[in-house]
């Protein structure tokens, strides 16, 4: 009897505990409902270091481009903008919202234009992220302005090594990324081609003082000496806006270099190219430009002369496969009204835009009023952690300093196509040289 009473008491206690758990806890159905409850948008935005961009129902998600879209280098920026436009058209709506692009002209020749564009962008608090800049020079002052507002910038065409080197003053910082390659790759490719294919042993360089040009020619010079024990006789500088290059070319011609590498832009690049014909000692010098000149502006200004000289140009390898050739390019041509690309970074801009839109889709939450809340710092974290991304330009992974791009470089010459028009025709690529 006593034993029975003890078991009865124990059972009573267990029943009381079960009753308490049932009344205070959640039933299985309640637990399932709780686990599927929408995220707390207010808490997410409060916890984000830069809070959220709010997009009301029916309003577009707004991103910006900060590219060179006027002047002599407009071909470069507009080429990228058409790539962005194709990406937005392919995406359709994003999370039930249209995607709207705001275009700011970040220029190229004047670094301050990058800062001006960035200031205009951060003044518009509806903008979620930025594709830009075209030129490394304008990225340097733009990035701190954007980062202070918590805006990610992904460049399709910045290539200066310093932008992703934390030991340099020009380091872009945690909100800066690029889908273009690093010029440590491009400079080495030009040196390899010069040594192994052109068989030259002497060279000279010209730059315009920009981070892009100065660093690219230095990588070339270092690698040229390393790979083939080459001699670099001169590393000269010109100014943006110069029109007479005879003095600097005369200095270079004194040593009759076999190759002249000048990774500068228009209009200086075409002028310098044609003025080589006036300088004794450069008659047999191989002329070599880079991606900053590989656009329609150069063809219009100096194309036939360069083609006759057999001039070379480095740039990204555009052999991106069937999707690029059969799907992307027809859409690009329909938007641009051209039959050849304006410049070499349209596919990189397509990838940059898609990465930004994917980041938005991954981190955005809807609040109780139906507004879309997009946490700014969460976008940065998404891009920072990007790995094995199936981009148009290849499989992309961002390293800790913002380099996300593929590393394939091609060498091209200007040659007539089937219609007689001059086009940049690939003659060598690191894809087959590795």
pLDDT in tens, 407-418: 899 999 999 999
Q: What is the pLDDT of residue 19?
A: 40
Q: What is the pLDDT of residue 26?
A: 42
Residue 349 has pLDDT above 60, yes or no: yes
Per-domain residue ranges for the chain? 52-180+345-403, 184-319+410-433
Q: What is the pLDDT of residue 39?
A: 86
Across the range 4-26, mean pLDDT stands at: 38
Token pair for 86: 């194709």
- Answering whether pTM is above 0.85, one says yes
Residue 34 has pLDDT above 50, yes or no: no
DSSP state of 60: P
Q: What is the pLDDT of residue 126?
A: 98
pLDDT band for position 433 (cuts 50, 70, 90):
low
CA angle centred on 192, ends 189 and 197, rounded to 5°: 120
**3-state class percentages of the chain: helix first, strand second, coil last, to nearest 5:** 45, 20, 35
Question: Residues 204, 254: contact at Cβ < 8 Å?
Answer: no
Please tell me the distance from the alpha carbon of residue 151 to that of residue 144, in angstroms, as a whole number: 10
Question: Per residue in 248-281, pLDDT tens?
Answer: 999 999 999 999 999 999 999 999 999 999 999 9
Domain 184-319+410-433 is of which CATH architecture?
3-Layer(aba) Sandwich (3.40)
Largest CA distance in the chain: 122
Question: Residues 81, 113: contact at Cβ < 8 Å?
Answer: no
Share of the chain above pLDDT 70, in %: 91
- Angle, helices 296-309 vs 74-91, to 10°: value is 120
Please tell me the distance from the alpha carbon of residue 367 to that of residue 385, in angstroms, as a whole number: 26
Question: Residues 183, 211: contact at Cβ < 8 Å?
Answer: no
Please tell me the distance from the alpha carbon of residue 60 to that of residue 342, in angstroms, as a whole number: 29
Question: Per residue in 131-151, pLDDT tens?
Answer: 999 999 999 999 999 999 999
Name the CATH code of domain 52-180+345-403 (choices 3.40.50.620, 3.40.50.2300, 3.40.50.300, 1.10.10.10). Answer: 3.40.50.2300
pLDDT band for position 37 (cuts 50, 70, 90):
low
């Amino acid at each position: 009897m006593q034993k029975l009473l003890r078991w009865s008491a124990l059972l009573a206690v267990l029943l009381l505990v079960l009753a308490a758990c049932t009344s205070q806890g959640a039933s299985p159905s309640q637990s399932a409902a709780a686990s599927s409850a929408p995220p707390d948008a207010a808490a997410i935005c409060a916890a984000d270091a830069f809070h959220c961009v709010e997009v009301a129902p029916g309003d577009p998600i707004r991103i910006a481009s900060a590219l060179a879209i006027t002047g002599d280098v407009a071909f470069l920026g507009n080429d990228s903008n058409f790539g962005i436009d194709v990406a937005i058209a392919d995406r359709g709506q994003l999370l039930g919202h249209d995607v709207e692009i705001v275009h700011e002209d970040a220029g190229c020749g004047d670094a301050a234009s990058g800062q001006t564009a960035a200031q205009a962008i951060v003044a518009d608090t509806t903008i979620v992220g930025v594709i830009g800049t075209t030129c490394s020079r304008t990225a340097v002052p733009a990035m701190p302005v954007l980062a202070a507002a918590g805006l990610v910038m992904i460049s399709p065409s910045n290539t200066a090594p310093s932008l992703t080197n934390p030991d340099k003053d020009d380091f872009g910082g945690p909100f800066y990324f690029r889908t273009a390659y690093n010029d440590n790759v491009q400079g080495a490719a030009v040196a390899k081609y010069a040594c192994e294919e052109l068989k030259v042993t002497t060279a000279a360089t010209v730059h315009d003082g920009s981070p892009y040009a100065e660093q690219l020619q230095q990588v070339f010079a270092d690698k040229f000496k390393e790979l083939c024990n080459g001699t670099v006789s001169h590393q000269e500088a010109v100014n943006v806006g110069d029109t007479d290059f005879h003095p600097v070319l005369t200095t270079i011609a004194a040593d009759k270099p076999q190759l002249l590498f000048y990774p500068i832009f228009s209009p200086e690049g075409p002028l310098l190219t044609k003025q080589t014909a006036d300088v004794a000692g450069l008659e047999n010098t191989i002329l070599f430009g880079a991606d900053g000149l590989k656009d329609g502006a150069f063809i219009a200004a100096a194309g036939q002369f360069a083609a006759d000289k057999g001039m070379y140009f480095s740039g990204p390898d555009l052999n991106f496969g069937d999707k690029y050739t059969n799907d992307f390019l027809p859409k690009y041509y329909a938007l641009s009204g051209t039959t050849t690309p304006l410049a070499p970074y349209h596919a990189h801009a397509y990838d940059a835009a898609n990465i930004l839109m994917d980041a938005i889709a991954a981190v955005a939450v809807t609040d109780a009023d139906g507004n879309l809340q997009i946490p700014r710092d969460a976008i940065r974290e998404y891009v920072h952690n990007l790995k094995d991304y199936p981009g148009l330009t290849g499989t992309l992974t961002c390293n800790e300093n913002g380099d996300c791009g593929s590393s394939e470089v091609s060498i091209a010459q200007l040659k007539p196509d089937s219609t007689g028009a001059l086009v940049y025709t690939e003659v060598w690529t690191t894809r087959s040289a590795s």
